[in-house]
Amino acid sequence: MLDIKLIRENPELVRENMRKKFQEERVGLVDEVLLIDKELREIQTEGDQLRSKRNTLSKEIGGLMQKGDKDGAERIKNEVKQIGETLVQLETDLTDKQERFQQIMLTIPNIIDDSVPIGKDDSENVVIEQHGSIVDRDFEVPYHADIMTTLGGLDLESARKTSGSGFYYLLGDIARLHTAVISYAREFMISKGFTYVIPPYMIREQVASGVMSFEEMDNMMYKIEGEDLYLIGTSEHSTIGRYMDEIMSKESLPQTLTSFSPCFRKEVGAHGIEERGVYRVHQFEKQEMVVLCEPEESKEWFDKLYKYSVELFLNLDVPVQVLECCSGDLADLKVKSVDIEAWSPRQQKYFEVCSASNLGEAQARRLKIRVNGENGTYYPHTLNNTVVAPPRMLIAFLENNVNADGSVNIPEALRPYMGNQAVISPK
């Protein structure tokens, strides 16, 4: 959510930002919110004046009664009554306009960074880095579900019976590998100075709407029927929500956190979730990195976060590339974002495994997270990035570490979490 002062002082900047995001249909919201803002201030001023007048008149009533001027006192009582009725109407108007004002303010997108490439959708995202060596295979790399099944590690049929499409059972060494990846990711981030967090797996609507747009909520989150609770789609949401309504000390920044949770997603729009695989599912585990920092430090932290992902994947023998998200592919709260994509030997292309985002002060402003500075309070910047998200991450790992005989090599970094096992062999 933007500062209304920015919209008042530079409305054309906000309009142009919408155009850069190819949201021409929203440009008119700038004029509407400015008009409502003006009306709200006028209502507030009128209300203050009427309340002041009512107080003055109310004091006169006692004096008139003491003088025996009952008629005069009655006239003033009627005037006070009329003022009260007018104030009730003003309060109604104020509430209605505040609701519309808030609705629009939550819809106007964040101002994107000047470095963001301009493009309509993800087809115009830009590759900015590539890391790791792509190894040519002298055999056909199997589909990831087939690798898992060969190793006795995947049961989709039972999951369809118990839960439907988009769910899975992981078994044996594949389940161990899943846990090993999460454990390694946790220790990797702790070694970078991050604090490990296990947050609540459900959040209230106030938190959900504070960290994401309403459209994202509708498309992603499962609502608990009859309760003000949602299952989280990522631990970033409840981790940042922890600071809601707080005034932090300047000395407490940066807050660097690595949070673990199961994640639950409706995946609206993901038609035909592939039943054979685990690429797009309704439930998975994820290790996340979250930072709250000084505004002037957020660009530096953004670079650090995505480079941590690159380092981690290279440690697991998985080549990656970094893709800069263009303006039209950025969610409304984001200032800047990159996707880290892993190499798929089977498909001979990269696919997304992590997404690093700088959200500026948008989430902090929505959740009223402030910092107590020398010249008053201000909003910190929030950033997040996926550390690893099995089982999707396992697809890249298995394809890049599978051998011709169906066995899978375990990189040295993971072996301490796999009982020092070096290879997973077919069952």
Query: Do 290 and 189 reside in the same domain of the chain?
Result: yes
Task: Check which CATH number belongs to the domain holding 42 and give it.
Answer: 1.10.287.40
Q: Is 117 among the domain residues?
A: no
Task: Check which CATH number belongs to the domain holding 216 and give it.
Answer: 3.30.930.10
What's the structural domain count of the chain? 2
Give pLDDT, residue 64: 76
Q: Is 112 among the domain residues?
A: no
Which of 105, 136, 161 is the C-terminal boundary of a domain? 105
DSSP, res 157: H
The domain containing residue 13 runs over which residues?
A: 4-105
Give pLDDT, residue 269: 53
Q: Is 110 among the domain residues?
A: no
Give pLDDT, residue 213: 82
Which of 71, 105, 139 is the C-terminal boundary of a domain? 105
Q: Is 111 among the domain residues?
A: no
- Averages of pLDDT over each 10 residues, the chain, 427 residues: 94 97 96 96 93 86 76 83 91 93 93 96 96 92 94 94 93 96 97 98 95 84 94 96 97 97 81 67 95 97 97 96 97 96 95 96 96 94 96 94 95 96 92
Q: Is 129 among the domain residues?
A: yes
Q: What does the alpha-carbon distance between residue 421 and residue 409 come to, in Å, rounded to a whole number? A: 9
Q: What does the alpha-carbon distance between residue 178 and residue 1 come to, in Å, rounded to a whole number? A: 37
CA 285 to chain centre: 16
Q: What is the pTM of this model?
A: 0.88
Which long-range contacts link 414-421 to residues 24+ away (Cβ below 8 Å)?
Answer: 414/177, 414/180, 414/181, 414/184, 414/316, 417/179, 417/180, 417/181, 417/183, 417/184, 418/173, 418/176, 418/177, 418/180, 421/173
Give pLDDT, residue 73: 81
Buried b (16+ CB within 10 A) or exposed e, 27-59: eebbeebbebbeebeebeeebeebeeebeeeee
Give pLDDT, residue 274: 52
Give pLDDT, residue 220: 87
Q: Report the 10 Å Cβ neighbour count for 404.
A: 10
Q: Is 254 among the domain residues?
A: yes
Q: What does the alpha-carbon distance between residue 164 and residue 145 come to, in Å, rounded to a whole number? A: 17
